[in-house]
Structure 1
């Protein structure tokens, strides 16, 4: 079928109309549908009516009136004149004129600016803000209010991210207090979803910043707090009653969560964690996952980037995990493009809360080969899970093998274990293998072994002294002499003075040409 190219002036007319009337959040959802390939073939009728189907669980028929855009129609249930499906069709129609992703960015900015201008024009100075959200409104309308209320809140550094979370929670959640449960609980869930989406946007916008590490750390910490608030709200909200009395609220919540899983900004594990959390704590209390799994399987992986492909696999695996079928869940994960440890922290945290240690050990064994790729804070948390699960299941030897396999990153855990169990020779061998200088060792550990078994410390002294001399500068020679004096004390304690004398003779002979070293040895009164 020949591709349908709409005249540029018609397309421009539709763009301007949607910029003026669509909320930025609706444009974003429309882009997600287009980006997933959910828009079918375009057909033009009568020169001005553009027809297309947008695929959902139930297909939506969209008719864009290219002449009178406000008369366009869609069979979706949102009830809004300017819905996401119409935006998706526009992006498809524009793809033959230019790059639709650039159009999306441009429309987002223009729609945001016009939204703020309308807000300002409609509100006289010092007038009360827009009407509060109502229980009769759908979640999409709540989110539009949230966006308007915080349109001027710019996220930047750590304090701003944390302040935004507190401000949103303290400002927005009181609106629903009078609604009663469970709708007030659902409203609180959407406040947290709004915060998480804004944080995701902030992280994406700051990926190239010179303070990326600080921004990322602030965003991650705040997102963790927000997600815990979301978990509590979801677990305490009666999903079955929501689905029965407010079915459209329930349905739109599922749509929003799906958008977060596969949207254009879904690149980090956070969106995946949010999706899994809400199914685990909320949706599964009112329905089985059969329909959701069917939707996930209906998606064509080829239409998504590799990270979103992995999200589909991870989501399917999680439903198997929740049913207790760990073997099938792990088998499903063999389809992953990349095994990322961060994707499984939520799984391990759930098992830890439920004290299902045997299951946790199974997941930790499977995840072990991926642990070296974990970020430092992730690696630390996963090692804590290993320690916890091994202790509860008595898998002592398996824990040792795992920690050894993860060296050198697991160094703190392994050294702590060796010291605790008095395995001093292995502790010394580990320091020698890692070429750890004496100055970097914990004084308490070093002193404990030196007092208990001084002979074990001799190789450590020898290695550190040789390294210091090899640096060939006056300061390193001074430090080498200081260690030589301590080494001499060890030999004396062991009643091996002759061995000490032989060692110094060989040292003098080997480094006879290093005049500065000879001078430092003389100053330290180490020469015979």
Structure 2
């Protein structure tokens, strides 16, 4: 008898064969036969076959074909994948490792495979059920809830598999679903367009929630936010054009269902890349003349707010919604008093009011909102801060004095650096612009050249401190590259002093610089190369 130890790659192939074709019961039976030493007389024949006996009440001959494992056979009557073949494989594995660990690995892999097969069967069954229950295309006679179910069915099973999938879904949904309502009368056509955007928003939120723990979560979240912005822009264009009064009068059931659907998303306070609250308040804002509708909805919100166990986020959503009805009936001041009860004030929730002020050119009203928002802007996201600054720029242009604007920009530094420096340049406040660069220790090498040239043309003396500071900072880095940058700055400084006709001041400065850093050999070499010192 040959003491067998077949190559590792052959053993791995046999293990995969057990994993892919055997049941857990057959593996357990093979393990028992191996463990009880029933595998005998294993030998290699013809270079590619293992012949062995498995002795139970009777002997069973097993032939393993190493070249074509699926052609292996056993003399028993249990079929192709019997426990005797498994027993021989465990015996062949023994010289390479612990067969009991192999058994556990195989059983775990089989359990995973079984679960995957069951899940696939269930998915296929659901898909077949969906196919059997296909909905007809939406018609004006069907309520909005039916439209949403049809939309869901058309994109059933859509999943994210690449970074661009969200954008692809957005464009595919608009292209494939928009034509169904194109020929309807105007009120229903507009309502259908609204529901199409709501469907896309719902799916974006679903993608966002389903992938929050995925390794692709950052890319998916970025895509969700990009499409969410597009949806909000679409809403801003659609809602002002809608004949909401006509829809509410002619199709009250449809409109009530629509408002309820959006309220359900807006009043939960859940984490979302979408501002459902903005959509909710925007629609109700357009219903300012529908007094009965407003009264009922406000009463509903007030009743919801009386609950004692409201989570903070849900309570904030309800307070914000109820304060909006206060704004419509009592004005901005009363609304802000109610909004002061918010646990967390998100700037994006109030931009709709700033936008309304901008459209109406109500600059004093806009400033009141901006002042109210100011305390929370230091911790706001950069995109929110950007919008906040743009609105304030619009308002300050209509004021006789920009002192308040400057105070705000300084208070929010360094996050407002870009806005503040741009404003100072446009306003011709060059000394303040230079002071800002000095305070932020910005090198002239990193500034926008036309801006720097503009200040220099106005008064070359203004830029001198900027270059002096930059030279000192380069030298403080103490490396050859920084010293070379310092030489570039010194060359410009020399030109400025010549332009100002102050050669004596320049000579004094360069002498003192060389003496101050006389121990920095590399710097001294660069000064000599530039012929600044002998």
Map 1:101-120; keep pairs closer than 5 Å: 115-120=126-131
| 1:145 and 2:156 matched | no
Aligned residue in 1 for 2:345: 339
Cα distance between partner residues in 1 of 2:280 and 2:397: 31
Aligned residue in 2 for 1:292: 297
Contact kept, 8 Å, 1:133 with 1:175, in 2: the verdict is yes
Q: 2:389 aligns to what SS in structure 1?
A: helix
Contact kept, 8 Å, 2:259 with 2:280, in 1: the verdict is no
Aligned residue in 2 for 1:132: 137
Q: 1:392 aligns to what SS in structure 2?
A: coil
**Shift in CA distance, 221/405, structure 1 to aligned 2, threshold 3 Å:** same
Cα distance between partner residues in 2 of 1:269 and 1:283: 24
Aligned residue in 2 for 1:270: 275
Gaps (5+ residues) in structure 1?
A: 1-108, 124-128
Structure 2 residue corresponding to 1:348, chosen from 339, 350, 354:
354
Aligned residue in 2 for 1:425: 431
Structure ID, larger Rg: 2
Cα distance between partner residues in 2 of 1:230 and 1:190: 10
1:37-85 residue CA offsets vs partner (Å, 9 max, x unmatched): xxxxxxxxxxxxxxxxxxxxxxxxxxxxxxxxxxxxxxxxxxxxxxxxx
**Shift in CA distance, 180/113, structure 1 to aligned 2, threshold 3 Å:** farther
Contact kept, 8 Å, 2:363 with 2:395, in 1: the verdict is yes
| 1:509 and 2:510 matched | no
Aligned residue in 1 for 2:210: 205
Contact kept, 8 Å, 1:340 with 1:373, in 2: the verdict is no
**Shift in CA distance, 523/415, structure 1 to aligned 2, threshold 3 Å:** same
Contact kept, 8 Å, 2:151 with 2:199, in 1: the verdict is yes
**Shift in CA distance, 458/395, structure 1 to aligned 2, threshold 3 Å:** closer
| 1:492 and 2:498 matched | yes
Map 1:58-457; keep pairs closer than 5 Å: 115-120=126-131, 122=132, 130-155=135-160, 159-209=164-214, 211-263=216-268, 265-268=270-273, 270-281=275-286, 285=290, 287-300=292-305, 302-323=308-329, 325-394=331-400, 396-457=402-463
Contact kept, 8 Å, 1:231 with 1:278, in 2: the verdict is no
**Shift in CA distance, 215/377, structure 1 to aligned 2, threshold 3 Å:** same
Question: What TM-score do you get using the length of structure 2 for normalisation?
Answer: 0.71
Contact kept, 8 Å, 1:157 with 1:218, in 2: the verdict is no
CA shift, 1:503, in A, is: 2.2
1:316-355 residue CA offsets vs partner (Å, 9 max, x unmatched): 2222233461110111111011222111122212222232
Query: What CA RMSD, in Å, does the superposition of the two structures yield over aligned residues?
Result: 2.8
Aligned residue in 2 for 1:478: 484
Cα distance between partner residues in 2 of 1:110 and 1:509: 84
Q: How many residues align?
A: 414
Q: 2:138 aligns to what SS in structure 1?
A: coil
Contact kept, 8 Å, 1:182 with 1:237, in 2: the verdict is yes
Structure having greater relative contact order (Cα 8 Å, sep ≥ 6): 1
Cα distance between partner residues in 1 of 2:530 and 2:173: 67
Contact kept, 8 Å, 1:465 with 1:480, in 2: the verdict is yes
1:142-179 residue CA offsets vs partner (Å, 9 max, x unmatched): 21111111113224556432332232223223323444
The 10-residue stretch of structure 1 (358-367 or 371-380) with the greater mean CA deviation from structure 2: 371-380
**Shift in CA distance, 237/455, structure 1 to aligned 2, threshold 3 Å:** closer
Contact kept, 8 Å, 1:266 with 1:308, in 2: the verdict is no
Q: 2:366 aligns to what SS in structure 1?
A: helix
**Shift in CA distance, 473/291, structure 1 to aligned 2, threshold 3 Å:** same
The 10-residue stretch of structure 1 (261-270 or 179-188) with the greater mean CA deviation from structure 2: 261-270
Cα distance between partner residues in 2 of 1:112 and 1:188: 31
| 1:466 and 2:477 matched | no
Gaps (5+ residues) in structure 2?
A: 1-119
Contact kept, 8 Å, 2:347 with 2:373, in 1: the verdict is yes
